[in-house]
Amino acid sequence: MEQNIILNINDHDYLVKVEPDEVLVDVLRFKVGLTGTKKGCGTGDCGACTVILDGRIVDSCLILAVSVEGKKIITIEGLEKKGKLHPIQQAFLDHGAVQCGYCTPGLILATKALLDVNPHPAEGEIRIGISGNLCRCTGYTKIIEAVKAAGELLDRGAQ
C-alpha cells in the first residue's frame, strides 16, 4: 500500500507517495523527477545510481525509499549552486572525464564522498574510491586526473 513519506533531497523536503517495496532510484527518477541519477543494472553492480546518503555513497537501486526518511540525500542535481558548477563538476569537464555521461553523476558523487573525508587522496585511494562505479567509455584515466584536479580546486577554495 502506498504511503506518504518526506525525503530530504539536496536540502529540500519532498512529500512523495511510495510503495513499501519501491527503491530509491525509481522514486528519485520518476516520482521526484530528478532523472540525473541513472539506473544501469538495478543490482548494485554498476554504480550509476550512486547518491550520497548522510555523507556516504550508496547504490540507490538497493535502498528502499521508505527506509531513508529523515536522512540527507544528495543527488547530482544538488551540486551546482546558483548557476556555478561544483569544482568536481568543473574538473570533470576540464579534464575530458565525460564521454557518454551515463556513469558521470555517480562518479561525481563518489568523488565528492571521497574528497569530503579525504581531501588529498593518493592515486590508489582514488582508484579504490571510484572502483564501485563502472565506466565503459573512458578507461578511467581522465576520470582519475579529474579527481586529482578537483582535490586541488577544492583546496584553493573554489567553493
Partner 1 sequence: MTRESNLGISAPRIDGYIKVTGRAKYITDLSRPGMLYGKILFSDRPHARIIHIDTSAAQSMPGVHAVITSTDTPNILYGLYLRDRLIFAKGKVRHIGEPIAAVAAESENIALQALQKIQVTYEDLPAVFDPFEALKPDAPIIHPDVESYQGIYPFIKYGNVCMDAEVNHGDIVKGFAEADVIVEGTYHTSAIHQSSIEPHACLAEFDHWHRLTVWTGTQQLTLCHQELASALGLPMTKVRVIPAWLGGGFGGKLKSLFEQICALLAIKSDRPVKIELTREEEFICTHARGPQTIYIKTGAKKDGTLVAREVRVVADMGGYSDHALGMATHAITFASGVYAIPNVRGHALAVYTNNPDWGCMRGYGGSEITFAGESQLDLLAEKLSIDPADLRLKNLYKDGDTFITTQKMDCVNIHDTMQAALQTSGYRKKKGQLAPNHGIGIANSILNTGFLSSSVVLRANPDGTVSLLTSVTDLGTGNLTALCQIVAEALGLPFDKIGVASQDSDSSPYDTGSIASRTVFDAGNAIILAAVDIIHQLIKLAALAFECDEEDVIYEEGAAFRKSQPEIVRSFAELVSDALFVSGGPLIGRGATLANPPHKHEIGRGFAERPAGTFTFATHVAEVYVDPETGSVCVTNYTAAHDVGKVINTDGIEGQVEGGVIQGLGWALYEELVYPQGKIINPNFVDYKIPTALDTPPIIDIFIEKPALRGPFGAKGMSEPPMVPPMAAISNAIFDACGAHVQTIPINLERLYNALHPGNKSD
**Is 37 a binder of partner 1 (CB under 8 A)?**
yes
State the cell numbers at 120.
Answer: 588529498
Of 5, 64, 134, 158, the one binding partner 1 (CB under 8 A) is 134
State the cell numbers at 103.
Answer: 556513469
Judged by CB under 8 A, the stretch of 40-48, 66-74, 112-120, 149-157 that binds partner 1 is: 40-48
Site string for partner 1, 63-102 (x = CB under 8 A): ------------xxx-xx----x---xx-xx-xx-xxxxx
User: What are the backbone angles phi and psi of residue 72, rounded to the nearest 5°?
Assistant: -95, 120
What DSSP string runs through 49-92?
TEEEETTEEEETTSSBGGGGTTSEEE-GGGT-BTTB--HHHHHH
Judged by CB under 8 A, the stretch of 52-60, 63-71, 132-140, 150-158 that binds partner 1 is: 132-140
**Is 144 a binder of partner 1 (CB under 8 A)?**
yes
